Amino acid sequence: MCGIVAYLGHREAKPILLEGLKRLEYRGYDSAGIATVNGKLEVCRTVGRVSVLEDTLRKLPGFHGSIGLAHTRWATHGEVSERNAHPHRDDKRGIALIHNGTIENYAALKQYLREKGHVFTSETDTEVLAMLISELYDGDLEAAVQNALREVRGAYAIAVLCEKEQGVLVVARKGSPLIVGVGDREFVVASDASAIVAHTTQVFELDDYQVAKLSRDAKGETTFRTSTLDNVPVTPKIRQLEFELEQIELGSHETFMMKEICEQPRCLRMTLQGRVSEREGRIVLGGIAEHARELIRARQFVLTGQGTAYHAAMLGEYFLEDLAKVSAKTEYASELRYRNPVVVDNTVVIAVSQSGETADTLAALRELKERGALTLGVVNVVGSSISRETDAGVYLRVGPEIGVASTKAFTGQVMVLAMVSLYIARRRFMSMDTAGEMLGELSRVPELMERILEQSNHIRKVCEKYVDRENWLFLGRGYNYPVALEGALKLKEISYIHAEGMPAAEMKHGPIALINDGMPAVFVANKGPQYDKVMLNIEQVRSRGGRVIAVATEGDQEIKSYADDVFYVPPISDPLSPLLTVVPLQLLACHAAVLRGHDVDKPRNLAKSVTVE
């Protein structure tokens, strides 16, 4: 959601900014814009894809210079239009600004600035910030930004430049993500590392309420200074980015989503690496080791997240109750944060998030931390806000996820939550043998997944039969109920097919009325404790004319007399089955979207990382 790129250095800024915007396209956006300074400030904004901006710029002279900003906007305040797109500017002082986040007190600030004679041309909260910085500008851009941000309530990651200080770029953050890449006599600033890694692997992050002034002198030498909003100097920690350019390139795949589905076995091997010892029934999780005692003694776990991460969190709840025998519950972060929840002593909150930046998840986490809970993060992006704000955590290690529909992050989250639960279970009462057996199975998940991926063509052919249907049901029970929810979400997100996921038994309490001739119902019907019950539910659908697609366990021939089509997964113990049963559903959604002619990696209206409420 909203992508920021900024450049200051010795090279032409425009191509670097456009390439950066393309790398950030996956975050989701509806318009784009760029500003450069070469003597004078030039701004260009367009509605639609970055390619539209690129085409427009090709026809325009200018836009040279080695300092600039660029932005992809995901509309929050005001319609999708050129005038609402970023950068926003104040022509009087030649100031341009890009912003990710929301300024909550923008209406009051706008009123104040109007009284001062400022004229607004957009409906955005961002333009207010550009004008406020301009109003406070007195020859020092860094000071103007600090002073302006002291007046602001809300969330922001911003980059600002000024025609009068052509060797200065000022960036700041509170709540929204921002990374500064430090290269050889250049800086590349971006919302995430994917727009930086091609240029440098040395980066630093700002903490909330911090500002960085990036400068280039007449000789082209660069320096930076970081400070608080009150101008107290701070020293950021420069770190090495842990991923390579190939990880964010398509390679031989047609879509990032398909690439990421297919690389799950390799990624999950990374998730497991060095963390499990089957022989000793031991799990080593360095990120939570310091808090092992508190985890063992915890009275209650609260798991939270949004979207796919919420479904993974549900499985975490099942693991904790079933394997570690400790009370656990899952809640949407957007509800939890405002619900005034009771937090009993020795509560642990687990925030599950791919990006580590989801605004609701972050806010729920803060709320429960305030109420005394120990906080754990199950996060993919290293250095993200959630990973920085939690007391402890376990990274997924599945590499950057570019596909908007989350796949490898889901299986990574489920695997980590299974490991955390086994870590606690083993320290509470689970025997070494039982733990060893489960860890053995967990370690074999990657190779078992490879067998499922080989069925991709078969799944595509089955998909062809049903892809014109507009309503689908996804049904599962027990550990595979969250998988049914996830299967339905995947189909909705990228195929725009209406799909509902639910517990298989719940169907007869209403949704069964929807079933008509030929309606596809996907059942997760692997051999588990509720297998017979699921068969009953399948009968109920078939007898009403529904078409049944079943995800079943290899060797189950009987299912063929119940289901129209079957996708097989290798046998595995029930708790770990979601790691396998979800894979055919990911493939199904991806094939359905391609067959319906949709852009799988840029689904309409969706953002990869939702940094606003």
Catalytic residue among 174, 259, 602, 608: 608
Catalytic residue among 2, 262, 267, 590: 2
Least Å from the CB of residue 357 to ligand G6P:
6
Please say which residue, 185 or 604, places its beta carbon nearer to ligand G6P: 604
Please say which residue, 332 or 531, places its beta carbon nearer to ligand G6P: 332
C-alpha span between 577 and 581 (Å, rounded): 6
Least Å from the CB of residue 545 to ligand G6P:
33
C-alpha span between 2 and 526 (Å, rounded): 41
Place of tokens 């901006």: 53
Least Å from the CB of residue 583 to ligand G6P:
17
Please say which residue, 65 or 307, places its beta carbon nearer to ligand G6P: 307
Q: What tokens appear for 408 in the block? A: 């490898």
Please say which residue, 196 or 381, places its beta carbon nearer to ligand G6P: 381
Please say which residue, 398 or 502, places its beta carbon nearer to ligand G6P: 398
Least Å from the CB of residue 401 to ligand G6P:
8
| DSSP code per residue over 519-584 | -EEEEE--SSTTHHHHHHHHHHHHTTT-EEEEEEETT--GGGGT-SEEEEE----GGGTHHHHHHH
Please say which residue, 355 or 387, places its beta carbon nearer to ligand G6P: 355
Q: What tokens appear for 122 in the block? A: 């957009």
Q: What tokens appear for 325 in the block? A: 């025998």
Closest by alpha carbon to 213, among 171, 253, 248, 243? 171
**Residue 89 CA: distances (Å) to CA of 14, 115, 132, 428, 590:** 18, 18, 11, 59, 41
Least Å from the CB of residue 334 to ligand G6P:
11
Q: Measured at CB, which residue is nearest to ligand G6P?
A: 307
Please say which residue, 213 or 259, places its beta carbon nearer to ligand G6P: 259
Task: Give the length of the chain.
Answer: 613
| 590 included as an active-site residue | no
**Residue 570 CA: distances (Å) to CA of 85, 127, 319, 475, 589:** 50, 56, 20, 19, 21
Please say which residue, 88 or 602, places its beta carbon nearer to ligand G6P: 602
C-alpha span between 114 and 76 (Å, rounded): 22
In eight-state DSSP terms, residue 191 is S
C-alpha span between 419 and 442 (Å, rounded): 9
Using CA atoms of 71, 76, 82, 88 in order, give the dihedral in degrees to the nearest 10.
-60
Least Å from the CB of residue 75 to ligand G6P:
16
Least Å from the CB of residue 356 to ligand G6P:
7
Least Å from the CB of residue 409 to ligand G6P:
6
Binding site for ligand G6P (CB under 6 A): 305-309, 353-355, 358, 361, 404, 406, 606, 608-610
**Residue 603 CA: distances (Å) to CA of 20, 341, 405, 467:** 20, 34, 8, 17
Q: Phi and psi at residue 419, in whole multiples of 5°?
A: -65, -45
Say if residues 53 and 32 touch (Cβ distance below 8 Å): yes
Closest by alpha carbon to 396, among 260, 489, 487? 260
C-alpha span between 435 and 448 (Å, rounded): 20
| 262 included as an active-site residue | no
Catalytically active residues are 2, 608
